[in-house]
Amino acid sequence: MKVRDVMTTQISMADSNTSISQVAKQMKDLNVGSIPITDNQKKPVGIVTDRDIVVRAVVEGINGNDTVSRVMSNKVISVTPDTDVHEAAKIMGENQIRRLPVVENGKLVGIVAIGDLAVRNIYEDEAGHALGEISTPSRPMM
């Protein structure tokens, strides 16, 4: 099975000049935990998660009116629609991420989340393994 078979195609995006508050509201309104950040050609340039907003903005005292570029992750790890779902789960685990932007011809066309893999009974083992790797701390907890 390919990523295209399980990915979400109705995605909301923002650009790097959008305010942190606007992106947070977008997440709340859509009941999602991340928003891909794209340029004006729909090329992914980053991703921001609810955790990024808490850890990088709230804790650091960054104003909600500042741009999301201050708190987004710049390293975009993505897959194509033709990526096998087993490979997508492996990439999530190796990189300790729960969501992967799906890019085709340089443009964002969807997003696949660990939950998209877990709801397919055939992929429960892979999703569980990936989630285990994602949840393993990358450094010792204090």
Encode the chain (142 residues) as per-residue pLDDT tens digits: 899 999 999 999 999 999 999 999 999 999 999 999 999 999 999 999 999 999 999 888 899 999 999 999 999 999 999 999 989 989 998 998 989 999 999 999 999 998 887 765 544 455 455 545 544 555 544 4
**Residues 110, 64: Cα–Cα separation, whole Å:** 27
Q: Is residue 140 part of a domain?
A: no
**Per-residue confidence (pLDDT) for residue 117, from 0 to 100:** 79
Q: Is residue 96 part of a domain?
A: yes
**Residues 79, 137: Cα–Cα separation, whole Å:** 24
Q: How far is CA 33 from CA 15, 84, 105, 138, in A?
A: 17, 24, 25, 21
Angle between helices 85-95 and 124-135 (to 10 degrees): 10
Q: Is residue 47 part of a domain?
A: yes
Q: Is residue 92 part of a domain?
A: yes
Range of the domain at 129: 3-135
Q: Is residue 35 part of a domain?
A: yes
Q: Is residue 141 part of a domain?
A: no
**Per-residue confidence (pLDDT) for residue 119, from 0 to 100:** 67
Q: Is residue 142 part of a domain?
A: no
Q: Is residue 112 part of a domain?
A: yes
**Per-residue confidence (pLDDT) for residue 6, from 0 to 100:** 93
pTM: 0.81
CATH number of residue 10's parent domain: 3.10.580.10
Indicate the number of domains in the chain.
1
